[in-house]
Structure 1
Amino acid sequence: MKYRKNNERMMDMSSKRKWAFVKLGAFIVVVVLLVAGGRILVLRKKQRLTKAPVAKFAEKSVDTVRAVRGDLTEHHDYLAWIEPIRTSQISARVTAHITQILHEEGDQVKKGERLVLLDDRDMRDAIAIAKAQIGQAQAELEVNETLLKSLRKTTAYWQAEAQRDSKLAAKGAIPEAQAQATLEKYNVALGKERSAEQRSQVIRQQILTLKVRIKELETRLSYYTITAPFNGTVSARMVDPGDLAVPGKPLLTLEDTSAIKLAFDIPQVDLSFIKVGMAGSFSYEGKTYQAKISRIYPKLNQAHMVRAEALLPATLNSRLPLGAYVTCSVNFVTLKNKVLIPIRALIDMHDQYYVFVVEHGTLKRHGVQVLGTACDKVAVRGIDSGAEVVVHSFLGWANLSDGLKVETR
């Protein structure tokens, strides 16, 4: 009985082992089939990829333009403004209160026309006093001149008497003492005459001094009436009646609008290029006008700049408003028949300039000499007209190098 049971157990274990081997074999067959199938698929895919056309791409794509030959006018732009031909800040030459302002802003005035009146009462009183002193001196002179005439007659009488008594005393007809007494009377009369003459000279000098004084006062009196130095328009009024006017304090602004000019400041670095007579242009409301520099001031201002002016034709007076700001372009020099490229094609490396030229699909770096610039154009020497130069791209110059294969767009 025991033997049978053992035999059955051994048969069951043998049967289980067989099934395990069958399952393992089936698994191995499935894996082999899957690997073989995958291998076949990979080979077929490789065959398809090998037969497919291969796309060829350039390493870089660049934008290029052709260098051209032409003329380049180098110019600089300056911020300019429209001014009247003359502007004057009207101020007083004396210190006094303002009594009357005779013109308002916008009034047209003629040369010599009165603009502002100052309180001149003290000056008029001083003139009146000086004139009164002249009258008094003239009266004194008249009295002294009458006295002088009388003294001259007296002197002449005693001179004749002294001469007569001197002759008689010499002959012994009269005593010598009598002749000396007559001579003494002559000397006294002569002294009075000379004293009267000196008095008249003093009075005349006093009158002359007073007349000079009056002229000075009358000249100063004219300062109390402020007049227009030229024909023009009152553009600004800074004071009111009753205000105190002092020398240097502006009262009114007077502008001569018979002509206008363009004014702008030149940086110190440009002074060697700017000359009187240079041509320029400016635009206003879409229209371009021509101008020539007519004046350059000799002194730098506080901003280390020099003022320049260009006189404009009288025909523009009604077209251009005073105070308008415009951009003035001054032509420095015109370069004739030069190779021109865009400024975006220029590479600046430590004060050395280069450009990339595409030659047969390859970049070639060429050193160039910059002859001049104007807006977005550069005149260069070192490449030929027609060369295909690379312009600056979004990626920048760092991604380009000499000998690089490129594709142009």
Structure 2
Amino acid sequence: MKSFIKKNKRSIIMIASVLLLSGGVTAYLIGFSAEVEKPEEEKNLRLVETIPLRYSPHTMKVQGQGFIEPSHSLELASQAGGQVIESYQNLKSGIAVEKGTLLIQLDDELIINRLALSRVELISTTTKLVTAIKSEGGSFYNKWMLYLRSLSTELSLTPRIPDLTSEREKLLVSSYGVLAAYYQVRELEDTHSDYTIYAPFSGHISGDGIEKYSFVSPGQSLLTLSDTTHLEIAIPLTREELIRLDEIESEVLISPSGVDNGFLSGKVERRDAVMDRNSQTINLHIIFENPELNPLFLPGNYAKVEISGKTLARTLLLPRSLINADNTINVYEEGKLKKYKVTILSIQGDKVILKPELPEGIQIITTRIQKPFEGMELKLEGSEE
């Protein structure tokens, strides 16, 4: 036996190797067959989540940003020159003033003296005219006599000269120097008004300040007065955004940019009638009030504006991430992916408004799929099928 094995050792080894190899192949084929025959539900399908399509009303929004500016801002300059004898709190920057407050007064003694002399001259020339026509009597005399009695050197403003109704009256009034004296008085009265400046509206002062007893020159800039309560913001909008607005009385919310801290309400005041050629936008002007002088809404702040536009009775609002590059959305139908073409009406931040042209109830896939294709086999998240 040993000699037989020894003589046929090589053949025995080859036969054993073939038997082992055959057994391995048979086992592999049996396992492969079992793999092929696994039921479909045990395949590793892509799990997705869906939402049913439901149409609902939606109010379109228009958003923009811009700098807050005072509704009224005026740079005041001196029309006269001289020494300052009154200066409201030295016109320091940040001072609040009410409308009608005396801001600054210059020494006006010289102009007052000249004005008094001119009024005396007007009274004198009018007296000569009245004396010359006294003998005529009648309405002509009575009119000018009444005017003479109204004149005084103490009045703040000289009464307006009576209307000249005839060529003879014009000639007499001119020849006696009444017209020249009257317009000399009016000119000096106008000049005298330049020596005092009152606040034309309530607001806050900004500037370097004007000290009492200092000197100012004609044309010198004194201060800038800004209405910090009544504010305005201009936002550039495209034509498409303006079309979304329903009417000029649309609700407007103003919030500070970069700060999540409340908002103020405003309204649309007006819009420009000319489009900017470079940006192809039109400025829309929003007005609002900040009576508490909230520092987040003071002039100079950058703010966000949201305007309520037209309300669509039936539309679909979806995240922009659900819209494919070919303007389609992914829908789950009978275990497979199907694409539906959509029409975008508007983009609102990270949302899109779609035209209501798809059947209600379809299951919109909300799970992000890297490379979606028609017919891709899917499985609903949480489904036992």
TM-score by length of 2: 0.65
The equivalent of 1:308 in structure 2 is 285
Quote the residue 2:77 is aligned against. Answer: 92
1:246 aligns with 2:219: yes
Work out which of the residue numbers 40, 43, 61 in structure 2 matches 1:57: 43
Aligned counterparts of 1:200 and 1:296: Cα–Cα separation in 2:
55
Q: Deviations over 1:146-181 (max 9, x none)?
A: 9xxxxxxxxxxxxxxxxxxxxxxxxxxxxxxxxxxx
Q: What letter corresponds to residue 338 of structure 2 in structure 1?
A: K
Matches within 5 A, 1:167-316: 204-205=176-177, 207-230=178-201, 232-241=202-211, 242=215, 244=217, 246=219, 249=221, 251-255=223-227, 257=229, 260-261=230-231, 263-269=233-239, 270-274=241-245, 275-283=247-255, 291=265, 293-300=267-274, 304-312=281-289
Q: What SS does the corresponding residue of 1:77 show, helix, strand or coil?
A: strand
Whether the 8 Å contact between 1:281 and 1:288 is mirrored in structure 2 is no
2:98 aligned residue (110, 113, 121): 110
Cα 1:305–1:94 shift into 2, 3 Å: farther
Instruction: Say whether 1:403 aligns with 2:375.
Output: yes
1:74/1:261 CA distance change after superposition, 3 Å? same
Q: Any conservation in 1 of the 2:252–2:268 contact (CA below 8 Å)? A: no
Structure 1 residue 254 displacement after superposition: 3.7
CA 1:239–1:96: 2 relative to 1, 3 Å: farther
Report the CA distance shift for 1:336/1:44 in structure 2 as closer, same or farther (over 3 A).
Answer: same
Instruction: Give the counterpart letter for 2:50 in structure 1.
Output: T
- Paired position in structure 2 for 1:175: none
Using the alignment, how far apart are the partners of 1:338 and 1:72 within structure 2? Answer: 7
Q: What displacement does 1:229 show?
A: 0.9
Q: Distance in 2 between matches of 1:200 and 1:343?
A: 86
SS at match of 1:210: helix
What secondary structure sits across from 2:184 in the alignment?
A: helix
Q: Could you report, residue by residue, the CA deviation over 1:31-85 in whole angstroms, capped at 9, with x for unpaired residues?
A: 443343233233234334434674843665545332122221110122256666x
> Given that residues 295 and 308 in structure 1 are in contact (C-alpha distance below 8 angstroms), is that contact kept between their aligned partners in structure 2?
yes
Q: Does 1:389 align with 2:364?
A: yes
Residue 24 to residue 263, structure 1, CA distance change in 2 (3 Å): farther
Q: Any idea what the Cα deviations from partners look like across 1:227-248, whole Å, max 9, x if unmatched?
A: 1112x2424124545565637x
Deviation at 1:306, TM superposition (A): 1.8
Amino acid at match of 1:343: R
Residue 319 (structure 1) shift: 7.6
- When residues 245 and 318 of structure 1 are mapped into structure 2, their CA distance, relative to the original with a 3 A threshold, is same
Aligned to 2:65: 79
Q: Give 1:327 deviation, angstroms.
A: 2.7
1-side partners of 2:222 and 2:367: how far apart?
A: 56
One-letter amino acid of the counterpart of residue 225, structure 2:
T
Secondary structure in 1 aligned to 2:342?
strand
| Bigger CA radius of gyration | 1
Q: Secondary structure at the match of 1:74?
A: strand
Instruction: Write out per-residue CA displacement over residues 168-217 of structure 1, whole angstroms, 9 at most, x where no aligned residue.
Output: xxxxxxxxxxxxxxxxxxxxxxxxxxxxxxx9976622x53133123112
Which residue identity is paired with 1:105?
S
Structure 2 matches for 1:134-149, cutoff 5 A?
none
Distance 1:292 1:106 in 2: 25
| TM-score of the pair, normalised by structure 1 | 0.61
* Displacement of 1:332: 1.1
Structure 1 unmatched ranges of 5 or more: 1-21, 147-198
Taking the aligned partners of 2:17 and 2:200, their CA distance within structure 1 comes to 112
Deviations 1:364-390 (A, max 9, x none): 222233345545252432212221123
Q: Deviations over 1:273-322 (max 9, x none)?
A: 4432112334577676674525114455977542422445xxx7338444
Instruction: Show the counterpart of 2:16.
Output: 33
**C-alpha displacement of 1:359:** 1.0
- Number of equivalences: 320
Of stretches 211-220 and 367-376 in structure 1, the one that deviates more from structure 2 is: 367-376
Q: What residue is the counterpart of 2:146 in the other structure?
A: none
Aligned to 2:29: 46
2:309 to 332, 337, 346: 332
Runs of at least 5 residues in structure 2 that lack an aligned partner in the other structure: 133-170
Alpha-carbon shift at residue 98 of structure 1 (Å): 7.2
Paired letter, 1:331 = S
Partner secondary structure for residue 71 of structure 1: strand
CA separation in 2, counterparts of 1:93 and 1:272?
A: 47
